[in-house]
Amino acid sequence: MSTGLLPANGNRLCFETDILHRTLPTGDPETSPGLCEPRYIGPAVVFLSYSVKLTCDGEATLTTFQSLCRRLAQYSEVPVLNKREVKEPEPNKQYSMMDTDSSTPLLSRSLSWPCRNHHDLLFYSAVLMGHFSSMFNGLAKSFAMKKGRNSGRCSGRETAEAMAKEAKRNNFLLHSSGTVNVDGSNNFASVFSKRGKKGVNQDCCIVWEEFGCQEDMIFCGIFDGHGPWGHFVAKRVRESMPPSLLCNWQETLSQTSLDPETDKKQHRFDIWKHSYLKTCAAIDRELKQNRKIDSFFSGTTALSIVRQGELIVIANVGDSRAVLATTSEDGSVVPVQLTVDFKPNLPQEAERIVECQGRVFCLEDEPGVHRVWLPDEESPGLAMSRAFGDYCVKDYGLISVPEVTHRSITTRDHFIVMATDGVWDVVSNEEAVDIVCSTGDRRESAKRLVERAMRGWKRKRRGIAMDDISAICLFFHSL
């Protein structure tokens, strides 16, 4: 069998395949329609049960997505095999990869272009540089076949949600207090949340390592609900944001071409920013149409971070805060605030609200606490100027548009603290960084910070019911 694919860079890629003479866990290929078909992932093909001979004309670069292929192999119940490295590849020379348990060639490659670098070869995968325009279609096909469906069709959103479930089963995704530390990853996340004295805990968090099956990506999000249905709104946004963002990211990626003159880091950020803006707008629309959750007088803030290699992208809706700990010129570890607390009294926020006929003022018994009010009623009294939900004031200046920023991580940068206002109301940026730095066990860092905030509420806010308190500490470098 032979098939061809024209990748984004214009090089023609041809595959010649032969079915391996062995029994697959799912049964005989002849009785498992479609199992031995190639899986197309943009300019990529993942062969789950073939030996492969690959020929490429023109200049191209092979790269590998180990995590993605491992997931695809799991979905189709094909054993995951080890990775090999081909050193100093020569043009027009064929290389064969062998099964660790036999001498059966699983992947072979004919190189017919100038080889300038060493290339890792991964069993069952050959990926040409280009855009990942059909990534989720390929993933969806794998999911569909595992479920026994014949249509092979699944929306990108459904596929991303299925990927999240798989990540949770593999302990790559965390929804509660705890830690995420995947073997071989440079990321380490500590999460802790504590209910306040106002009722149910309306804070919630998420950490998703290998976000979207990308080995160099992690997603962290922290959400602070408010109002009678605030805990439901927060959890709904937590569930919706990662898969929606993943979908919009791959769609934007597939529609964008990189100009050689363009700054690659800026280009990557622009894609994430566009994806975040589209995602947040869609989430707010969906929330309004959700008949199971009453978001008219309830809502949530949302602070999230995506780390992709050394790029971090921060998106903030509301008054939660992200603070970076970095080494200064004198060698001390200092805080750098990465986000703006979107309070109603910020000049640009107050101006927008007033222009929309909303009102901003403090109550007599809450001096210094500015809130958003309807034109003719002392309601709802929101202490933030941006949020999902809260449709009672969406026509009066409240928005769900995120501020999206980015930063490149260096060896001077140590960790980011993401926390709800329950922390920042009583703990300064400097104190937060000192607390995390002084915690010997990274696993306890978020808990230590939350416990310090709890003591701060008792000492500094006597007579005021303690707010819910939640924090994520994301460390960048493995020990």
- Cβ-Cβ contacts under 8 Å for 122 (sequence gap 6 or more): 64, 65, 66, 69, 83
Per-residue pLDDT tens digits for 180-201: 988 878 899 999 999 999 999 9
How many other C-beta atoms can be found within 10 angstroms of the C-beta atom of residue 217? 20
Q: How far apart are CA 245 and CA 282, in angstroms?
A: 10
Q: What angle do CA 198, 321, 201 make, to 5 degrees?
A: 20
Q: For residue 317, which amino acid is it?
A: V
Per-residue pLDDT tens digits for 366-422: 889 999 999 999 999 999 999 999 999 999 999 999 999 999 999 999 999 999 999
Q: How far apart are CA 389 and CA 387, in angstroms?
A: 6
- Domain map (residue ranges) of the chain: 2-154, 158-475
Q: 89: exposed, middle or buried (C-beta count within 10 Å: 0-12, 13-18, 19+)?
A: middle
pLDDT for the residue 236: 97
pLDDT for the residue 478: 63
For domain 158-475, is the CATH number 3.60.40.10?
Answer: yes
For residues 53, 58, 63 and 64, what is the CA-based torsion angle, rounded to 10 degrees? -30
Give 297-345 as a DSSP string.
Answer: S-EEEEEEEEEETTEEEEEEESS-EEEEEEE-TTS-EEEEE-S----TT
H/E element, 156: helix 156-169
Q: Consecutive 10-residue runs of the chain (479 residues): their mean pLDDT?
A: 31 30 30 32 30 31 35 36 36 37 32 28 28 39 41 59 85 93 88 95 96 89 97 97 92 73 82 96 96 96 96 97 96 97 97 97 91 95 97 97 97 97 97 97 97 95 92 86
Q: Which of 286, 319, 295 lies closest to 402, judged by CA?
A: 319
* Beta bridge pairs of residue 208: 173, 219
